Amino acid sequence: MKTNNTAKEIAELIKQGEKILVVTHVNPDGDCLGSASALYSFIKNEYGKESVLCVIPKVPQLYEFLPNIDNFKNPDELSGQEFDTVVAIDCAAKDRLATVIPFFDKAKVKINIDHHKTNPMYAQYNYVYGEKSSAGEVLVNFAKECGWKFDRDIANALYVAILTDTGGFKFDNTTAETFLAVADLMAYGINPSLLYRCCYESKPVETVKLSACAISKSEFLSNGKIAYTIITLDDMKKNKALNEHTDGIVEMLRQVNSVDIAFVIKETEEGFSKISLRSENSDISKIAQKFNGGGHSKAAGCTIKKNYTIALNKLLEAIKEEFSYDF
C-alpha cells in the first residue's frame, strides 16, 4: 500500500521540473480551481517557473474572479505539448482527469495532491489527507511544511477553496484545523464577506431557472428520507443551462428537514448519468464506490454508464441494500 510523500519531497520534484502542468478534475469546483490557482502562484513565486494550468472543459463563470483565471487552458490548447511534471489537484481518481490522462501518463513525474478519503494514491508521488476539509486546507499545510510564502492572491484563492468545499463552513468536514488554516489566510488581508458574496450570492439566471425546474420534478421516498431529481438534456436546453448551472441543486434537496439522502441524476451528452449525492447521516461514499465513483461520507459522486431510468433503479437498489431503506 502506498504512503504519502512529504511536502518537501514533492516540492523538490516541482522545483526540478522543466515543464510543469497543474491540472483540475473534470468540471472543477471552487476548491479545485482555488487550489490550482494558489499552486500556480506558489510555483511562480518560489521557483520563478511559469507552470501551465489546465481546466476541463473550462472555468465556470462563477469563479472567474479568482486570481490567475486567465492562465487556465483547456486540453485542446495543449495539443502537441509534453510535460515532464504533472500535478493533479483535488482529483479523487485518475479517471477524473478525463482528456488530460495522456499528459499525465507521459509525464516523468506524476504528483497527486488531494483530500478525498477514497483516493487510491494513483500517482508516483502522493500527498493525500482524507481527514481534511478540502484540497485548499491540504495545500495550506503543504505550503507551511515547505516554508513557501503566502500573499494576498494566494490567500484569496485558498480561502475560496476551503469556503466552497465546507459549504460556507456548514458541512461537518469543518474542523478546528480548518479554522486554523483560515486564520492563517486572514492575516493576508482577505475580505471574507466579499468572497462569500462572490461564491454564494452571485447566481446567474440560468442557475435559478434550472434549479426551479429540477426542484419542481423532485421525488421523495421512504417517508421523505430519500429525495432525488433528474435533469435531462432537454431541461438543460430549455433553460439554456451549462453543467456549472447544476451546482447547488442537490444541496437544496438535502436541506429538506426529513431528508437523509439526496441525489441528482444528470443526463450527459453520451446518454449516461452523472450522479451527485449528499447525505445528512449516511456514508454515501459507499454508494458512489459501487459505481466506481468516490468522494466523502456526506458528499460523493459517480457516473453510471446507463440512461437515467436505469441509473435511477440501480441507485435505489444500492441505497436499499446498503442502508435498509424501504421503498
Q: Where are the domains of the chain?
A: 7-200, 205-323
pTM, two decimal places:
0.89
* CA-wise closest residue to 72 among 5, 135, 21: 21
Q: Which of left, alpha, beta for 227 (phi over 0: left; psi -120 to 50: alpha)?
A: beta
Please list the pLDDT of the chain residue by residue as tens digits (327 residues): 789 999 999 999 999 999 999 999 999 999 999 999 999 999 999 999 999 999 999 999 999 999 999 999 999 999 999 999 999 999 999 999 999 999 999 999 999 999 999 999 999 999 999 999 999 999 999 999 999 999 999 999 999 999 999 999 988 899 999 999 999 999 999 999 999 999 999 999 999 999 999 999 999 999 999 999 999 999 999 999 999 999 899 999 999 999 999 999 999 988 899 999 999 899 999 999 999 998 888 999 999 999 999 999 999 999 999 998 887
Q: Would you state the CATH architecture of domain 205-323?
A: Roll (3.10)
Coil, strand or helix at 213: helix
> Which of the listed CATH numbers 3.30.1370.140, 1.10.287.1080, 3.90.1640.10, 3.30.70.141 matches domain 7-200?
3.90.1640.10
